Structure 1
Amino acid sequence: MKTSQISLLGNNAPKLNDFKEVRLRGVSQYGSRELSTDNIIEFIRKNLANYQPNTLKSIFSSLISYAKFQKIAIERELIIRLIPKVQGKIFDTINKEELEQLKNSSPKNRKINDRNNLVLDFLFYAGLRVNELINIRHCDYQNNQLRILGKGNKVRYVFLPDFLAQHFQFNSQEYFFQTKNKKRLIHSQIRKIINRGIKKAGVNKHITPHSFRRSFATLLNNREVKLTTIQKLLGHSDINTTTTYIHNNYQELYQDYSKL
C-alpha cells in the first residue's frame, strides 16, 4: 500500500473510519515504502499552515492507528512535538446568584414553576448529565444516596442536600421529573427550561445543560474538595476530563498571585 494514498474501510483500523482516505501530500516520491516516522514528520511540517491543530491531531491519531495495525514502529514523541497545542476552550458556568435569577424567571404556574426550579437545582447541585436527570425514579434515592445510571451503564451514587432529598417518594416507581401528563421529561424540554430562564433573567452567558455540570465541578473545587472525589461524583473514568470541567475564577487567581 502506497504512502501517497492510504485507504482503509471497515473495522481494521477504527480511527481511520473518520478518514476513509488519508493522503500524505508531498510524499508520493516514497512509492511503496511503508509509513515511517520521517515521512509523517515531513507531512506534518508541510501542512502546518494548511490544517488546524485539531485536524492535525486527528490525522496523526489515524496514522498511528494504521501504523499500529500494520505493526510499523513510529516514534510518537518526535512527531507530537511538531503539532501546535490546541488552545483550551473557556466554558461558561453559573454561580449561586445566577442560579437564583434563573429560578425566579420560571413560569407563574406554581406546579410547573416548582418542577422547573427543581430541574435547575438538580443540575447545579448534583452535577448530572441530562440523560441521567430525566431517568431518575423516586425509588432511586435510598439511604441518603441517589443511584445514577451513567454512561456505559455504569452505576454511581451521588449525595443530595436535604432540600432536594425531601422531594422523593420512597415507594414510588415513577419518574421523578414528569410533564403535567405524567410523562417523563425529555432532553428538549430540559433545554427549553434553561433557555427560557436565561432569556427572562437576562444572564449574558452561553449556558447549556452541561454548563450546570461544569458549575457543579467548579463549586466543589472552590470548596477545596479533592479532585478524585469530584471525578467520582461526576462519573468520569479519566481524571484529566474532570480538570477540564473546572472553570477558574481569574479574579481569585489574580488575588492569590498578588499575595506572592
Structure 2
Amino acid sequence: MDVIELQRILNDYLHYLKAERGLSENTVSSYGLDLQQFINYLSERKITDLNDVDKQVIVDYLDCLMNKGKANASIIRCVTSLRKFFQSMKQDEKIQDDPMISIETPKGEKHLPEVLSTEEVEMLLNAPDTSQTLGIRNRAILELMYATGLRVSEVVNLKLEDLHLDVGIIQTMGKGRKERIVPIGDEAIVWINNYLNDARPELCKSKRSPFLFVNFHGERLTRQGIWKNLKNEVKKAGITKNVTPHTVRHSFATHILENGADLRIVQELLGHSDISTTQIYTHISKKRLSKIYDESHPHA
C-alpha cells in the first residue's frame, strides 16, 4: 500500500457514503476534509499502510490538532470521521485491527444556540423592502424558514412540485435523504404566493427552473446566497445578535415549545432522528423562562 493507494481508498469511501449511504454533499464534504488531513498527516510521517495505524498514531494526530489550536468541536468531528472510516475499513477487511476502539471522543463544550425573541423575529420578517422584487423573495424565504424550521440546505433544494399550499403543507428531503411533510402557516403561504405571482417570474424571465427560490439570474439560490441576504436583512432590522439560518430554525423550535407544542411533535417537524437532539430546545425554554422570571418578579 502506498500514498496513491491510500488516496484511492479514501475516494472510494467518500463515494460509498454519498452513493450507498445517501449522505448529503455537505456531510460527505466534512468527512472528506477531516480524512484528507489525516491522510496527509500519515504521508508526512511515511505511514503508507492503514494496518500500521495504531492507537498511538491516532493520539499523536489528535495532539497535533490541539497544538495547532483547532477548536474542540473540530476535533470531536474529526474523531467521529475517523471512527466511522476505520469501522468501514475493518468491515471491508482492509485492516486487521480498528485503532479507534479505545479512543474516547473528547467532551464537547455545551453552548445553547442563539435564539431570537418573538419581537426580534417580527423585526426581521418586516426588514425586506417588499416594494422590490428581491425584497418580496427575501420576505418569502424568511417567512418560510420561521414557519417551518427548515434547514438552509432544505430551503435551497425546495422545488415547485414540493409545494402543496392549498392544503398548507410542503414536502422536504432532510438528512439521510429522509422525506418528511411539514405544515406551513397562513402568513408564509401569503408571501410565497406573492413571490410566485409577482417576483419569481421577474427573476426567471425566460429561464425555467424547478427550484422554488432563484437568484437575480433565474438560477437556484445557493446556501451562501441565503446567508448573505439574511445578514443584510438582520442589519436592516437593527438586530445585534449573530443571526444565521440555523438561528431562525432554533427560534422556530423554541417558540412553538414555549407555546405548548409536544417535544415529539417538534422532533418530527425538525426531522431529528434522535429526540436527544431536540431536547436542547427545552433547555433554551427553561433558560428564557428563568430570565423572564428574574426580570418580572419583584422578589426575584
Name the counterpart of 2:8.
Answer: 10
1:89-128 deviation digits (Å, cap 9, x = unpaired): 4432222211211233332617665543332221111112
Name the counterpart of 2:251.
Answer: 215
Equivalent position SS for 1:87: coil
1:229 Cα shift?
2.3
Contact 1:127/1:214 (CA < 8 Å) preserved in 2?
Answer: yes
Q: CA 1:151 to 1:86, structure 2 compared with 1: closer, same or farther past 3 Å?
A: closer
Name the counterpart of 1:137.
Answer: 160
* 1:72 paired residue among 81, 97, 100: 97
Relative to the length of structure 1, the TM-score reads 0.67
Contact 2:163/2:170 (CA < 8 Å) preserved in 1?
Answer: yes
In 1, distance between residues paired with 2:80 and 2:169?
A: 44
1:236 Cα shift?
3.1
In 1, distance between residues paired with 2:275 and 2:137?
A: 33
In 2, distance between residues paired with 1:131 and 1:176?
A: 24
1:186-215 deviation digits (Å, cap 9, x = unpaired): 235534442232112211011122221121
1:40 Cα shift?
5.7
Equivalent position SS for 2:9: coil
Contact 1:137/1:175 (CA < 8 Å) preserved in 2?
Answer: no
Q: CA 1:114 to 1:96, structure 2 compared with 1: closer, same or farther past 3 Å?
A: farther
User: Number of paired residues?
Assistant: 243
In 1, distance between residues paired with 2:259 and 2:41?
A: 47
Q: CA 1:24 to 1:90, structure 2 compared with 1: closer, same or farther past 3 Å?
A: farther
1:213-249 deviation digits (Å, cap 9, x = unpaired): 1211222332343333222212233444444577715
1:163 Cα shift?
3.1
In 1, distance between residues paired with 2:240 and 2:280?
A: 22
* 2:289 paired residue among 244, 247, 252: 252
Equivalent position SS for 1:107: coil
1:135-168 deviation digits (Å, cap 9, x = unpaired): 3427721533222244455321111223334567
Contact 1:214/1:246 (CA < 8 Å) preserved in 2?
Answer: no
1:37-80 deviation digits (Å, cap 9, x = unpaired): 5x36864897696264445542575277447341315573x531
Taking the TM superposition and a 5 Å limit, the aligned residue runs for 1:193-204 are 193-204=229-240
1:251 Cα shift?
4.2
Name the counterpart of 1:99.
Answer: 121
Q: CA 1:19 to 1:243, structure 2 compared with 1: closer, same or farther past 3 Å?
A: farther
Q: Which moved more, 1:50-59 or 1:113-122?
A: 50-59
Q: CA 1:139 to 1:10, structure 2 compared with 1: closer, same or farther past 3 Å?
A: closer
In 1, distance between residues paired with 2:290 and 2:152?
A: 31
Contact 1:215/1:247 (CA < 8 Å) preserved in 2?
Answer: no
1:176 Cα shift?
7.7
Does residue 86 of structure 2 align to residue 62 of structure 1? Answer: no
Name the counterpart of 2:242.
Answer: 206
Q: Which moved more, 1:118-127 or 1:233-242?
A: 233-242
Equivalent position SS for 2:7: coil
In 1, distance between residues paired with 2:278 and 2:132?
A: 36
Name the counterpart of 1:161.
Answer: 185
Q: Which has the larger radius of gyration?
A: 1
Q: Which moved more, 1:10-19 or 1:202-211?
A: 10-19
Question: Cα RMSD between the aligned structures?
Answer: 4.4
The one-letter code of the counterpart of 2:268 is K
Which structure 2 residue ranges, 5 or more long, are not aligned?
Answer: 15-30, 205-212, 215-220
In 1, distance between residues paired with 2:181 and 2:36?
A: 36
Name the counterpart of 2:272.
Answer: 236
Name the counterpart of 1:109.
Answer: 131
Q: Which moved more, 1:145-154 or 1:246-255?
A: 246-255
The one-letter code of the counterpart of 2:237 is A
